[in-house]
Amino acid sequence: MEAHIKSRYHDGILAEAMRRYHIADGHIQLLDGFESFMYEFERGGQSYVLRIGHSLRRSVELIQGEVDWLNYLADGGVSVARAVPSADGELVERIDDGQGEQFLTTAFVKAQGEPPSYAIWDAPLFEQYGRTIGRMHARTQTYWLPNPAWKRPEWNAPDMLYADEWLSDPEDAIALDHYRQLLVHLEGLPSSDSDYGLIHQDAHGGNFFVDAQGTLTFFDFDDCAYSWFANDIAIVLFYASLWQDNRPDFTPYFMTHFLRGYREENQLEASWLREMPHFLKLREIDLYAQIRAQFDNYWEDPWCARYMTGRKEKIDQNLPYIDVDFESLADLL
């Protein structure tokens, strides 16, 4: 979390948020949060999640757009953790921070189940994974924005991508050049309602729970943006394969089952498979840039250190994130 936001937060902000959502003392606990303050709370025998963000990071209008789309998905039968109103009926509450800005609070139903474990990380889960993302993509094609001010960013908006700003060190000049060439390519791709719309854009295994029946429930839509559905799939694959010892072997297996579930819910032209290496490279460079900028001593964090090992060299050499012929999977769509 950015220091200038964290420094404005205090117990009084939390107390006011609890008042607005009728959360009793002793019924709330702090969770891990990277960009926002996150809490779990109980009310009326049910569990919820309270997110306290800040207007310096996301405007109230952007959050209104997030929760409006989220609840539209939920109303259409997509398994997501819907947003719930405060005691005053507001989906987004504003709390002054005393310095001219606001903390913005939103509450969500807590997703049922647990994080996906290694024991169930296999074909049935992959198919349900694809089925749920496919349903999300099908539903978003009929979404109508009720207020133009709530429009979520496009995929290449400055607050969605970081490399141009954060790869300023001369040693990253080659990576930055590859990144800019990649943007030129992606910005020239066609877009239509059948292949482009609002997507989760961060639908990895840390952002859904799985219940005993195998249902996946997605949450954390803070990064949702307008992009290609194929990009959403690529981001799923990026993280699903991240720590696999042999990505070229894992990828066809994962994609076979993921796309089998996906095509039950949504139709996507097989031609988009040829863009998978480009979408994967976009996430690879952007994550590299984010870690470089936000973690002064990233090598002290095991996750970051593992990702960054050899990453600069791979990006500089423009090596594919996954060396697979994605077009060979065309029969799966």
Per-residue pLDDT tens digits for 288-303: 999 998 888 889 999 9
* Residue-level pLDDT at 95: 97
94 has which bridge partners? 104
% of the chain at pLDDT higher than 90: 85
Give the Cα separation of 39 and 33 in Å (integer).
9
Give the Cα separation of 211 and 52 in Å (integer).
26
pLDDT band at 193; cut points 50, 70, 90: very high
Give the Cα separation of 129 and 100 in Å (integer).
42
Instruction: Reduce the DSSP state of residue 76 to 3 states and report it.
Output: coil
* Residue-level pLDDT at 277: 98
User: 228-267: string of b/e by CB count within 10 Å (b at 16+)?
Assistant: bbbbbbbbbbbbbbbeeeebeebbeebbbbbbbbbeebbe
Architecture per CATH, 118-332: Alpha-Beta Complex (3.90)
List the domain boundaries for the chain: 3-109, 118-332
Architecture per CATH, 3-109: 2-Layer Sandwich (3.30)
Q: What pTM value is reported for the model?
A: 0.95
* pLDDT exceeds 70 at position 35: yes
Average pLDDT, the chain: 95
* Residue-level pLDDT at 135: 99
C-alpha closest to that of 81 among 175, 221, 212: 221
Q: Nearest 5°: phi and psi at 50? A: -105, 125
Angle at 326 between CA 131 and CA 306, to 5 degrees: 85
pLDDT band at 1; cut points 50, 70, 90: low
Say if CB 282 and CB 239 are below 8 A apart.
no
Number of H helices, E strands in the chain: 11, 10
- Please compute the mean of the pLDDT values over residues 3-27 and round it to a whole number: 91
Give the Cα separation of 198 and 139 in Å (integer).
10
Using the structure block, give the residue that is written with the tokens 């003392």: 25
- What's the one-letter identity of residue 26? G
**What's the longest Cα–Cα distance across the chain?**
58
Lowest mean pLDDT among 53-62, 147-156, 183-192, 264-273: 53-62
- What's the one-letter identity of residue 127? E
* Residue-level pLDDT at 70: 99
Quick: pLDDT tens for 212-244: 999 999 999 999 999 999 999 999 999 999 999
Q: What contacts 24+ positions apart, CB below 8 Å, involve 292-295?
A: 292/166, 292/167, 292/169, 292/172, 293/162, 293/165, 293/166
